[in-house]
Amino acid sequence: MSSGPETTNNPPATPAPATTNSAVAAAATAITNIASLVTNDPSLGDGSPLGLIQDAAVVIDGDRIVWVGETSKAPATDNRVDAGGRAVIPGFVDSHSHLVFAGDRTAEFNARMSGQPYAAGGIRTTVAATRAATDEALDANVTRYLREALHQGTTTFETKSGYGLTVEDEARALRIAARHTDEVTYLGAHIVSPDYADDPAGYVDLVTGPMLDACAPHARWIDVFCEKGAFDGDQARAILTAGKARGLHPRIHANQLSHGPGVQLAVELDAASADHCTHLTQQDVDALASGSTVATLLPGAEFSTRAEWPDARRLLDAGVTVALSTDCNPGSSFTSSMPFCIALAVRDMRMTPDEALWSATAGGAAALRRTDIGRLTPGSRADLTLLDAPSHVHLAYRPGVPLVQAVWRRGERVV
């Protein structure tokens, strides 16, 4: 079994139609006696965005969900799992992480907690350590953090390069990431490489030229850190446009540390997501509401940097699609726990427990432009998590408690 979730780059446009009881194979597996099943399909159950079904069952055949409904109506199968009155939710979709790295930034975190402000320059510390690490060490790190995430219910994840900043090191980071997931992002434009400190234009040429040539075959996405101390709007546009020309779809680190052009650039270029979205003008919110770009919020970063919290309530009330993700990285958000991020979003970003769960599952799927994950309906991928609790609300109600009891990914029980 691979340490990370497998994904497909060409998901179906819509899930397959519902399967009748008579069409369910006897060899399928039924999970029954579910106190509360989150389907993320408002046409099911209580009609809410979560599509909650009480006293529910779900049937898995191969790597797909083939039936959902009330336990009393579940089709006969050879294999049955009794959920014991616990809740079942879709596997978490972590759509923003930075897992290919080496080194440790404990000293930086300690200094920050003692009053030193966060700045993008701390990335350079990880760049030096990552360049010096072997492929085996980097792969072992990815494996370790994905195992952590899996045991906390994450079944799909995206991860980026960005700690190499040379042609060779960025390409090897993507090769390593691609061993674990298809949701791989080229982030050569994380910061200007220290090697080009006096020639940022030259580094943009490298990122959009030889580095892009070496990295494009290994990635699905292209990303840029559009921020003071990293790349301005014109540089970000040039980088993302070059990536699009090579078949990579844009995502963008936008408006994390200050107001800037990132969010509106994301909407202009039809980026799948604008990530962070901490400092927004009304024009930024209106742009997100009018486009298809998902606002991905990363509360672990605000927790770890003592920064201002994004206003999720403002985005949701405007009709913006919101995702939650860990931003797992060694500098500004060293957590692999989606349940932790849900608790932060509810407590400090004004999300309801229902909204936070939806954003950590279906919202993450939207940020990856996927329809086969983040939901539990007939035809969707059989990625689901059994909680040791009667309701998903316990994820925020009992923060820090290890509530994940079992995880299925692609129909196979992996935890």
Q: Return d(Cα 15, Cα 97) in angstroms, integer.
A: 27
State how far the Cα of 70 lies from the Cα of 176, in Å rounded to an integer: 43
Average pLDDT value for residue range 317-327: 98
Rounded (10°) CA dihedral 256, 261, 264, 270: -90
Amino acid at 8: T
What token pair was written down for 402?
A: 């290890």
**Is pLDDT above 90 for 400?**
yes
**Given this model, what pLDDT does residue 107 score?**
86
Flag whether pLDDT at 247 surpasses 60. Answer: yes
Per-residue pLDDT at 327 exceeds 50: yes
pLDDT higher at 290 or 9: 290
What average pLDDT score do residues 127-132 get? 94
Q: Could you tell me if 392 and 46 are in contact, meaning their C-beta atoms sit under 8 angstroms apart?
A: no
Question: What distance in Å separates the CA atoms of residue 26 and residue 28, rounded to the nearest whole number?
Answer: 5
pLDDT for 202 equals 97
At 21, is the pLDDT very low, low, confident or very high (cuts 50, 70, 90)? low
d(CA 363, CA 341): 14
CA distances from 126 to 93, 198, 241, 246, 402 (A): 25, 20, 27, 28, 30
* Rounded mean pLDDT, 97-125: 84
115 pLDDT tier (thresholds 50, 70, 90): confident
Classified as helix, coil or strand, 170 is helix
Tokens standing for residue 221: 């996405």
Q: How far apart (Å, rounded) are the C-alpha atoms in residues 384 and 391?
A: 14
- Report the predicted TM-score, pTM, of the whole model to 2 decimal places: 0.92
pLDDT for 122 beyond 90: no
Q: Cα–Cα distance between 363 and 125 in angstroms, integer? A: 32
Helices (H), 31-188: 106-113, 123-132, 135-150, 167-178
Mean pLDDT, to the nearest integer, of 336-340?
Answer: 98
Q: Over range 7-18, report the average pLDDT.
A: 40
DSSP string, 82-120: EEEEEEEEEPEEE--B-----S--HHHHHHHHTTPPP-G
Cα–Cα distance between 37 and 75 in angstroms, integer? Answer: 17
Cα–Cα distance for residue pair 254/339, rounded to 1 Å: 24
What pLDDT shows up at residue 120? 53
Is residue 118 a contact partner of residue 333, using CB atoms and an 8 Å limit?
no
CA distances from 239 to 116, 234, 235, 274, 414 (A): 31, 9, 6, 15, 39
